């Protein structure tokens, strides 16, 4: 199978963004709300900072302990919503269980919602009226575009291709389905992670027929090469599992010599593209604010 390098795609996005930032009248600034001491979350925030600073993006990180209250966080986000110098805001997930994730995300104003998670922005995306695209589906779309460019699907007509999404999130499925439908994918099916784990034998037949498999479960060895079609298949691995210093995905990507197709590895697959898409949203939000103020 051909490996689709997320790093190359991300670098192309970042090169384009750097030129845009140099021509902007304001410096885009991303505010990040970080709660708790989750090592992975702190690592992701550091990665976003390091990548953004290379292209001239400003950052403000607001780090709080697990003991912080929901009321305090909402008030802090409202303050950031009103600051003109802040062009984008994200809340690094996961949050402590005592805090209502949806309530916190909804407190970010849609015009500063850099992740594209706010319900208003999601509905605009589903209706084709989006200002920005939700970052994770946006990254996956770019990996699929690269698979098209590499002719991962040579023989199968677009309208006959089948997509299988394995995820626990209905919201993610809705967005990903809409993104694929905009590109004329018709047959798109969701299997929830827990259902897959309980009924692997039953769903394996369906996986064997799929031309595109997108996963976002965070379950090591969720499936492997012999579960796939032998040709014309693309695997987008969106699972992240930390094992000590190593990062792994859902897809056990070894012994691929008997398969023809494409896959995105973990690490260096969806991850760097997602970060680049986030920074792209921050720049686009800054451009929107400039247009509104003129």
* 256 shares a domain with 150: yes
Q: What is the pLDDT of residue 291?
A: 81
Please list the pLDDT of the chain residue by residue as tens digits (294 residues): 889 999 999 999 999 999 999 988 788 999 999 999 988 888 889 999 999 999 999 999 999 999 999 999 999 999 999 999 999 999 999 999 999 999 999 999 999 999 999 999 999 999 988 889 999 999 999 999 999 999 999 888 888 999 999 999 999 999 999 999 999 999 999 999 999 999 988 899 999 999 999 999 999 999 998 899 989 999 999 998 888 778 889 998 776 766 779 999 999 999 999 999 999 999 999 998 878 876
Edge-first strand order for the sheet with 2-3 is: 2-3, 261-264, 233-237, 212-216, 162-167, 187-191
For residue 209, tell me if it sits in a domain. Answer: yes
Q: Report if residue 49 sits inside a domain.
A: yes
Q: What is the CATH number of the domain that holds 62?
A: 3.40.50.10860
Cα dihedral value 276, 277, 283, 285, nearest 10 = -160
Residue 258 pLDDT:
65
245: domain CATH number is: 3.40.50.720
Backbone angles phi, psi at 292, to 5 degrees: -70, -30
Number of domains into which the chain is organized: 2
The answer to whether 220 touches 248, Cβ cutoff 8 Å, is yes
| Backbone φ, ψ for residue 225 (5° rounding) | -60, -40
249 lies in the same domain as 170: yes
Do 179 and 71 reside in the same domain of the chain? no
Q: Which residues form the domain of 140?
A: 135-269
pLDDT of 189 reads 96
CA triple 78-99-116, angle to 5 deg: 55
pLDDT at 243: 80
Instruction: For residues 144 and 219, state if they share a domain.
Output: yes
48 is a domain residue? yes
Residues 102, 183, single domain; the answer is: no
**Residue 113 counted as domain residue:** no
- DSSP 3-state helix, strand, coil percentages of the chain (rounded to 5)? 45, 20, 35
Q: Are residues 151 and 72 in the same domain?
A: no
Say yes or no: 147 and 65 in one domain.
no
Residue 184 covered by a domain: yes
Rg over alpha carbons for the chain, rounded to the nearest Å, is: 19
Q: Note whether 93 and 150 are same-domain residues.
A: no
Query: What is the model's pLDDT at position 31?
Result: 98
Predicted TM-score (pTM) of this structure: 0.94
260 and 168 in one domain?
yes
Boundary residue ending a domain (89, 108, 127) = 108
**Residue 59 domain-assigned?**
yes
């Amino acid at each position: 199978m051909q490996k689709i390098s997320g790093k190359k795609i991300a670098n192309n996005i970042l090169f384009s963004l750097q030129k845009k930032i140099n021509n902007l009248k304001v410096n885009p600034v991303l505010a990040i709300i970080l709660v708790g001491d989750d090592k992975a979350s702190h690592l992701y925030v550091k990665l976003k900072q390091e990548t953004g600073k290379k292209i001239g993006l400003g950052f403000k990180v607001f780090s709080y302990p697990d003991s912080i209250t929901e009321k305090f966080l909402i008030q802090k986000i409202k303050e950031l919503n009103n600051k003109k110098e802040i062009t984008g805001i994200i809340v690094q997930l996961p949050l402590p269980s005592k805090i209502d994730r949806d309530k916190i995300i909804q407190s970010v104003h849609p015009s500063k919602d850099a992740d594209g998670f706010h319900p208003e922005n999601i509905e605009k995306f589903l209706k084709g009226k989006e200002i920005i695209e939700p970052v994770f589906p946006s990254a996956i779309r770019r990996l699929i575009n690269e698979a098209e460019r590499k002719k991962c699907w040579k023989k199968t007509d677009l309208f006959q291709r089948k997509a299988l999404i394995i995820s626990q999130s209905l919201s993610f499925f809705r967005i990903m389905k809409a993104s694929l439908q905009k590109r004329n994918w018709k047959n798109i099916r969701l299997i929830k992670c827990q259902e897959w784990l309980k009924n692997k034998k039953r769903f394996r037949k369906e996986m064997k027929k799929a031309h595109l498999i997108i996963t976002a479960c965070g379950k090591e060895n969720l499936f492997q090469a012999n579960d796939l079609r032998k040709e014309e298949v693309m695997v987008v691995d969106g699972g992240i599992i930390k094992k000590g210093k190593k990062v792994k995905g859902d897809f056990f990507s070894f012994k691929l010599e008997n398969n023809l197709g494409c896959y995105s590895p973990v690490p260096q697959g969806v991850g760097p593209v997602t970060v680049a898409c986030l920074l792209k949203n921050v720049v686009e939000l800054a451009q929107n604010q400039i247009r509104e103020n003129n």
